[in-house]
């Protein structure tokens, strides 16, 4: 029933198609006109070559006794194959019944796989234990190193703290001579009496050459150009020389 319906519907559709094509193109066949036309004189699909086409090898007729013999042999062979197949089938059935068939092998495989996985699991556990022990050891070692570093750092800081305290104490001691509001006038007078002059040349031995000779109070107009003042041969007495050795001795 269903097939009938399908067939009727398909024929109806074909007819519809056919009528529409004929309607649109005034009865001219237009189907597959979009395909490229083959070049003239050269078919798109080459037929088999003359050598190959219609070349069927006809075996020569054999002698009737040979045919008979071959037929007999063929029957014998077919019978032998059938027998062997029967034997093999029986053997397979026997194996299956004795638990040596494919199904039994599959079961054995599953068991084998389970064993192997269990063995692997055991190996993993062992490795994990070993690794944990090793990591514990490493953690302890790291902890010890960190504690040592902390110890060293603390000692260093204590040392620095002591030095800073010592420095502060020294500064406090020195602060007696510092300038403040009370002793400002006195200090100014002292500085005027004992001026410190940095306008000197120095050689490698540490001798200081004051040219011109330092004076406590400036007299007259100070020299404007000082560029070539120190351009003199050392050792000639031009000004005041403060020798380094004497200074050390005095210190």
Partner 1 sequence: MPFMHGSMPLRRTFFYLQQGKVKFRDNVNVFAMGFHKRPTEEQSGARDFVYWHWAQLQYHNPKVQLVKHADKVITPFARAYLNDGREVLFDLDGMKREEIEDTLAKTLGKTELVERREHLESIAKLNPADFGSKNERQCMCEVQGQHPCTGLLRAPKCMTGKQRWNHNLI
For residue 232, give the DSSP letter.
Answer: S
Of residues 1 and 52, the one with the C-beta less far from partner 1:
52
Of residues 17 and 163, the one with the C-beta less far from partner 1:
17
Q: Rounded to whole angstroms, how far apart are CA atoms 151 and 145?
A: 10
Alpha helix positions (H), 26-97: 64-97
Min separation Cβ 164 and partner 1, Å: 44
Q: Rounded to whole angstroms, how far apart are CA atoms 117 and 108?
A: 14
Min separation Cβ 148 and partner 1, Å: 24
Of residues 127 and 162, the one with the C-beta less far from partner 1:
127
The reply to whether omega before 212 is within 30° of 0 (cis) is yes
Min separation Cβ 116 and partner 1, Å: 5
Q: By the 8 A CB rule, do 236 and 211 touch?
A: no
Kind plus residue range of the DSSP H or E element containing 202: strand 201-202
Min separation Cβ 78 and partner 1, Å: 13
Give the tokens for residue 131. Answer: 């690794």
Of residues 103 and 167, the one with the C-beta less far from partner 1:
103
Min separation Cβ 127 and partner 1, Å: 5
Q: Strand 208-210 to strand 240-242: parallel, antiparallel, or no bridges (unpaired)? A: antiparallel
Of residues 109 and 148, the one with the C-beta less far from partner 1:
109
Residues that bind partner 1 (CB under 8 A): 14, 17-18, 29, 31, 47-48, 52-56, 102, 105-106, 108-109, 112-113, 116-117, 119-120, 123-124, 127-128, 131
Min separation Cβ 65 and partner 1, Å: 22
Q: By the 8 A CB rule, do 21 and 31 touch?
A: yes
Q: Rounded to whole angstroms, how far apart are CA atoms 238 and 234?
A: 9
Of residues 13 and 161, the one with the C-beta less far from partner 1:
13
């Amino acid at each position: 029933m269903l097939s009938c319906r399908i067939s009727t519907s398909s024929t109806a559709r074909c007819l519809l198609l056919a009528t529409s094509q004929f309607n649109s193109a005034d009865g001219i066949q237009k189907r597959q006109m979009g395909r490229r036309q083959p070049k003239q004189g050269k078919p798109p699909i080459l037929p088999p070559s003359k050598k190959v086409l219609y070349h069927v090898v006809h075996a020569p007729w054999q002698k009737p006794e040979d045919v008979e013999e071959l037929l007999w042999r063929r029957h014998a062979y077919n019978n032998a194959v059938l027998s062997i197949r029967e034997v093999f089938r029986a053997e397979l059935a026997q194996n299956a019944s004795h638990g040596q068939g494919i199904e039994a092998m599959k079961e054995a495989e599953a068991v084998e796989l389970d064993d192997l996985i269990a063995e692997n699991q055991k190996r993993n556990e062992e490795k994990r234990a070993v690794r944990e022990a090793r990591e514990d050891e490493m953690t302890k070692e790291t902890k010890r190193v960190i504690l040592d570093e902390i110890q060293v750092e603390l000692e260093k800081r204590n040392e620095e703290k002591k030095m800073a305290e010592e420095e502060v104490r020294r500064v406090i001691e020195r602060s007696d001579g510092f300038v403040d509001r009370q002793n400002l006038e006195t200090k100014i007078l002292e500085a005027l009496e004992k001026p410190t002059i940095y306008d000197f040349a120095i050689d490698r031995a540490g001798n200081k050459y004051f040219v011109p000779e330092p004076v406590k109070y400036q007299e007259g107009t100070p020299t404007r150009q000082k560029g070539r003042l120190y351009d003199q041969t050392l050792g000639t007495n031009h000004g005041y020389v403060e020798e380094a050795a004497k200074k050390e001795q005095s210190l």
